[in-house]
Amino acid sequence: MSIIEVEAVSKTFYVPSVRRDTIREHVLDLFRPRQADLLPILQSVSFAVQRGETVGIVGRNGSGKSTLLKIVAGIFRPDGGRVTVLGPITPILELGLGWNPALDAIDNIFIIGSVMGLSLREIRGAIDEILAFAELERFANLKLQHYSSGMGARLAYSIAFKAVREILILDEIFAVGDASFQERCKQRYSELRAAGHTVLIVSHDPLIITGFCDRALLLERGHIIMDDSAARVCDAYNDLLHSAQPHELVPAGS
């Protein structure tokens, strides 16, 4: 049974084509028609994810991977098409959203944990585990404004992994932190996968996709051009990266 269905989804962004460098130009522009270029990101993308399945998404920079994840997570609305999700989602996408840098780690755990659906009782019981997973026990009472970007990333992922719902959406998670933290993330992810969670994951690392995913999608210029086993898709992705010739778009299913 499909827990995620994406049907003919398209997304276009509007990029201002007129540069304004002075206050006078900004003021005058209020009385002129706005000019913008259309930047199509996704074009008629369709796929389904079965309950308990792990699906990877690969593609070159700018192919639409992160935009697709945000549409599935409900952060962006598609311009066309439809997305159906039959379960609660934990998206691990943008690090640090919702942080209050003037508060310490424990206060921020309460804030972000509540946003992710944990009850206050669950948060209280998980604080030690979250701090230990992120290796931040010594810095629990330090304000986040004094954290390094790596410390903040470890804390964000530690909270998210504790608040996982039925569907987990990951964007380049295994590229965060040092080797030790990445290994803990992989172990936690393996536990979630074994427990039957549905996972949608973006990574530029073919070893991550082949090691954790049942199948994968290859995105190129906003189209899904391949939907197959993780190994075959990663082989095609590597060929695409090393090809000197522009890839001829043949959307999957054509």
Within 10 Å of residue 249's Cβ, how many Cβ atoms? Answer: 12
pTM of the model as a whole? 0.79
* Residue 139: DSSP 8-state: G
- Whether residue 94 is predicted with pLDDT greater than 70 in this model: the reply is no
Q: Give the contacts of 74 (CB within 8 A, at least 6 positions apart).
A: 85, 89
Whole-angstrom distance, CA of residue 89 vs CA of residue 161: 12
Confidence of residue 192 (pLDDT cuts 50, 70, 90): confident
115 closest CA partner among 68, 72, 156, 166: 156
Beta bridge partners of 47: 6
Confidence of residue 253 (pLDDT cuts 50, 70, 90): low
Q: What is the pLDDT of residue 31?
A: 56
pLDDT, averaged across the chain: 86
Helix (H) or strand (E) holding 53: none
Give the pair of three-digit tokens for residue 21.
């460098």
Helix, strand and coil content of the chain, in percent to the nearest 5, comes to 40, 30, 35
Helix (H) or strand (E) holding 194: helix 179-194
Assess contact for 20 and 9: CB atoms under 8 A: no
CA distances from 111 to 20, 69, 106 (A): 38, 23, 9
- Whether residue 75 is predicted with pLDDT greater than 70 in this model: the reply is yes
Q: Give the contacts of 106 (CB within 8 A, at least 6 positions apart).
A: 127, 140, 141
Within 10 Å of residue 108's Cβ, how many Cβ atoms? Answer: 23
Q: Give the contacts of 107 (CB within 8 A, at least 6 positions apart).
A: 100
Q: Give the contacts of 128 (CB within 8 A, at least 6 positions apart).
A: 137
Give the pair of three-digit tokens for residue 80.
């066309």
Least confident residue range of 26-40, 112-126, 190-204: 26-40
Angle at 71 between CA 69 and CA 77, to 5 degrees: 165
- Whether residue 246 is predicted with pLDDT greater than 60 in this model: the reply is no
**Rounded mean pLDDT of 46-66?**
94
Helix (H) or strand (E) holding 33: none
* Residue 177: DSSP 8-state: S
Q: What is the pLDDT of residue 160?
A: 84
Confidence of residue 254 (pLDDT cuts 50, 70, 90): low
Q: What is the pLDDT of residue 47?
A: 97
